[in-house]
Amino acid sequence: MKPKIAIIVCGLSENRQFVTNSYVQAVRYSGGLPLIIPLVKSNVAIHEYISLCDGFLFCGGGDITPLLFGQEPVDKLGETNITLDIFQLRFMRHVLLSGKPVLAICRGMQLLNVACNGTVCQDISIKVKDSINHMQRSFSRKDISHKVTVKSGTHLHRIIGNIVYTNSYHHQTIDRLGKGLISCAHTSDGIIEGIELTDHSFSIGVQWHPEAMYRSTPVMRRLFSSFIHASRLADE
């Protein structure tokens, strides 16, 4: 039986909740059964979803409300939605307590960090004055933008190796790492591009968008396949 993969709602728009199709397809082509999880306010419902599903995918999206990691907003902060933020943080914390596999992408990686009591730098220019461009402008989201170096001995390194070339669509970055997290990948300007929980079977966050590169890049397919495999083991 295929492992059931919860894709947590990416965003809200008026009366709609949505998930970008590329996440659904990446899960499906990797052998998982994608289930879209809506925003719910009931902890009982959250626990039922966690019990039902084998792995959990947290997607990209807008900025996280700074008050949720103890900061005031700065001028370069992008669009936020505190209702979505609170739900996703609550869901993430419950998932981490369950011990089930987590793959967190872009905003999802930052959410994982905040859920572990870390912080987010609200704009890269605050942290690194002469950074490379992390918000690419290219014809396709699958186009590569920069090099990422992966730390030897980490879970992410075992999956994708030493060097990977990725796309890049973010203006924020990890600041203080959350409890139990380590940095496992970075760019040449020192920006964190990957994090993982050291005491968790599979809890990896990446700052790039592997779902957008899934069809064109074998290493991104390996990342999703590893996540699905870990989720299948969680179901046994």
CA 65 to chain centre: 16
Look up 209 and say whether it is catalytic.
yes
Sheet with 102-105, edge to edge strand ranges: 33-37, 4-8, 55-58, 102-105, 203-206, 192-197, 181-186, 146-150, 163-166
Give the count of alpha carbons within 13 A of 43, CB side only: 4
Q: In angstroms, rounded to a whole number, what is the distance separating the alpha carbons of residues 216 and 124?
A: 28
Q: Which one is catalytic: 155, 170, 186, 209?
A: 209
Q: Which one is catalytic: 170, 186, 196, 211?
A: 211
CA 161 to chain centre: 19
Q: Which one is catalytic: 106, 116, 121, 184?
A: 106
CA torsion 71-75-78-81 (nearest 10°) is 50
Catalytic residues, which ones? 106, 209, 211
